[in-house]
Amino acid sequence: MHRLLRTFTALAAFAALGLPAGCSSDSASGAKEEEATVREAATGSAGPPEGAFWVDPDSPAARQVEQWQQQGRTRDAEALRRISEQPMAVWPAGDDPAPDIAQATRGAAKENRTAVLVAYNIPHRDCGQHSAGGAGSADQYRSWVDTFAGAIGDAPALVVLEPDAIPHIVDGCTPAEYHEDRYQLLSEAIQRLKRQPEVKVYLDAGNPGWISEPGKLTEPLRKAGVAQADGFSLNVSNFQSDGTIKAYGRTLSAAVGGKHFVMDTSRNGRGPLAGDRQDAWCNPPGRGLGTPPTDRTGDPLVDAVLWIKRPGDSDGPCRGGPAAGQWWPDYALGLARNAKAA
């Protein structure tokens, strides 16, 4: 998944918003609270997952914990529990999303929890880069979304809709001839998903290091139907700090009618990789787990803190990683060991 990380541009933009460069919250006390929260994740003292979200007992991280225990790698297995025991999003794969969704919603129902799902199959996905693919046509996408929504049924679910799709319009990566079709498809997808009685939908809006001026997203989000969604998502698969995301989200919310948002904190415990690097989004070294997932955010605009990108899933074949979305245990272990504030 393509994640441009233009650090210096982003810092300049946040200076215009009145945020000091590198600030991780809106105040000194907020920074301390955020650091303490992330430190809990690092030390394992955070306790069981908070709130409503389902933990997959058969995730790649859970299977890796079991394997390492059998091999006598006890310390590594215990470190990896910081991932395996937290709720993470499910990204249904292939042309038929129903099996993955059914498994997640059934598992969640048994525990009276909510499944977090990602719809990621828009035509011309990721501009042909590491996560290229998606439906072959608009009609195929409509059918896929209908299957996706139908598989949820009456179960409670939180759906993050099409990471990158809007930001790739804004940054020019997606060719102009596809823009109007994409807006239409996203708007229809929101409407279809909202027909399910217990579904909340959050349309993806990228991250502050990618589209540094939130105002550039306003009209594209409106065209894509954000007014009918429950809100928007930020920082999916990226590394921006909690405070930076929240400040950006508040600004964007004010521009799109006060919509709420959710934020991905799965790998942002040490913030983004320093420097203005084109590939800083792709398996950057030295990153760590961020704030554990919860729907108890204490912020009226933030509906949930989530681990949308599954920690340990590769961003792509860069820095020695496997293909995008493939499990990479060594990287996962690094995230677990580095789960602390920068």
What own/partner pairs with CB < 8 Å and gap ≥ 24 does 169-177 have?
169/220, 170/206, 170/211, 170/216, 170/217, 170/220, 171/4, 171/210, 171/211, 173/2, 173/127, 174/124, 174/127, 175/124
Active-site choice (56, 76, 100, 164): 164
Contact 120, 133 (CB under 8 A): no
| 126 classed as catalytic | yes
Q: Which of 273, 196, 200, 283 is nearest to 241 (CA)?
A: 273
E strand or H helix that includes residue 264 = strand 260-264
| 315 classed as catalytic | yes
Q: Are strands 199-204 and 231-234 parallel, antiparallel or unpaired?
A: parallel
Q: Which residues of 79-108 are buried (b: 16+ CB within 10 A; e: fewer)?
A: bbebbbbbbbbbbbeeeebeebbbbbbebb
Active-site choice (56, 76, 126, 230): 126
Q: Which residues of 198-211 are buried (b: 16+ CB within 10 A; e: fewer)?
A: ebbbbbbbbbbbbb
Active site residues: 126, 164, 315
